[in-house]
Amino acid sequence: QLQASGGGLVQAGGSLRLSCVVSGPTFSSLNMGWFRQAPGKEREFVATISWSDSPYYADSGKGRFTISRDNAKNTVYLQMNSLKYEDTAVYYCAASLREGVKAHEEYDYWGQGTQVTVSS
């Protein structure tokens, strides 16, 4: 089970940190990802971090977003800085048994999503 939190309303230029707690003993072996979905749009990849702590970002978040993990807390984070109006979306965390994947079809487990709203 994946439980995402940390969303909210923020002004453009502000920051938020999303968290996703994963239940179960195998978190350290999972590859974790963040996706987002805006109204009327398809779910899109944001960032992923491998079980070995290698991050990869979509172009939209490079230089602004940082994905990290704390295996002791079974938690993956997404630090989002310099937020833009177009970052407004429901953000989902997901877990994959495959490393470095960006397609949502490659993710096996999903959280419930947390809303991020950026006001312009």
The torsion of the CA quartet 26, 31, 95, 41, rounded to 10 degrees, works out to 170
28-48 as b/e: b if 16+ CB within 10 A: eebbbbbbbeeeeeebebbbb
Is 107 a residue whose pLDDT tops 80?
Answer: yes
Segment (H or E) for 56? strand 55-57
Provide the pLDDT for residue 75: 97
Is 100 a residue whose pLDDT tops 90?
Answer: no
CB atoms within 10 A of CB 120: 9
Kindly report, residue by residue over 10-66, the tens digit of the pLDDT.
999 999 999 999 998 799 999 999 999 999 999 999 999 999 999 999 999 999 999
- State CA 49 to chain mean position distance: 9
